[in-house]
């Protein structure tokens, strides 16, 4: 059964931070549990987030809360089966341009991964910015 996977800021990397202001918009705000803080990317596409897990997992669900007007579009999830392997596309997902928490099922045929990359090919923002208040991964640890 899928359970929340614990993610901390040291396991995260992001493509960019708005105006390089990590104190106000840094990656740590993706997983701090505070609905008043957010990661905000700088402009340009694509934007991405990578997560290095402490042990292999099989991801089942991806939960993201965007800010309306700054949501991802044409998105997909990639995974690495081990630290030395290259990124492989696992599944596509299609967010709505809204503020509420959205859950996306990940169909990956039970392949365990050690790293996940979430790619936002485009944004609903004209300048390509992405704003995320919450990021969660549910899965099975292997």
Q: Is residue 5 assigned to a domain?
A: no
Domain of 55 in residue numbering reads as 12-136
For residues 79 and 58, what is the distance between their CA atoms, to the nearest angstrom? Answer: 10
For residues 78 and 42, what is the distance between their CA atoms, to the nearest angstrom? Answer: 22
Q: Is residue 64 assigned to a domain?
A: yes
Residue 33 region, left (φ>0) first, then alpha (ψ -120 to 50), else beta? left
Q: Is residue 3 assigned to a domain?
A: no
Q: Is residue 16 assigned to a domain?
A: yes
- Beta strands 113-123 and 72-80: pairing type? antiparallel
pLDDT by 10s per residue, the chain, length 142? 789 999 998 999 999 999 999 999 999 999 999 989 999 999 999 999 999 999 999 999 999 999 999 999 999 999 999 989 999 999 999 999 999 999 999 997 678 999 999 999 999 999 999 999 999 999 998 8
Q: Is residue 80 assigned to a domain?
A: yes
Q: Residue 83 sits in a domain of what CATH number?
A: 2.60.120.260
Q: Is residue 142 assigned to a domain?
A: no
Q: How many domains does the chain have?
A: 1
Residue 21, φ and ψ in degrees, nearest 5: -90, 75
Q: Is residue 89 assigned to a domain?
A: yes
Q: Is residue 141 assigned to a domain?
A: no
């Amino acid at each position: 059964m899928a359970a929340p996977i614990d993610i901390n800021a040291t396991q995260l990397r992001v493509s960019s931070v708005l105006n390089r202001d990590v104190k106000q918009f840094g990656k740590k705000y993706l997983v701090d549990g505070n609905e008043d803080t957010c990661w905000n990317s700088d402009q340009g596409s694509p934007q991405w987030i990578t997560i290095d897990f402490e042990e292999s997992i099989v991801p089942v669900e991806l939960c993201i809360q965007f800010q309306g007007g700054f949501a991802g579009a044409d998105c997909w999830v990639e995974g690495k089966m081990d630290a030395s392997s290259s990124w492989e596309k696992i599944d596509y997902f299609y967010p709505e341009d809204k503020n509420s928490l959205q859950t996306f099922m990940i169909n990956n045929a039970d392949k365990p991964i050690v790293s996940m990359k979430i790619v936002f090919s485009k944004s609903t923002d004209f300048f390509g910015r992405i704003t995320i208040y919450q990021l969660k991964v549910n899965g099975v640890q292997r």
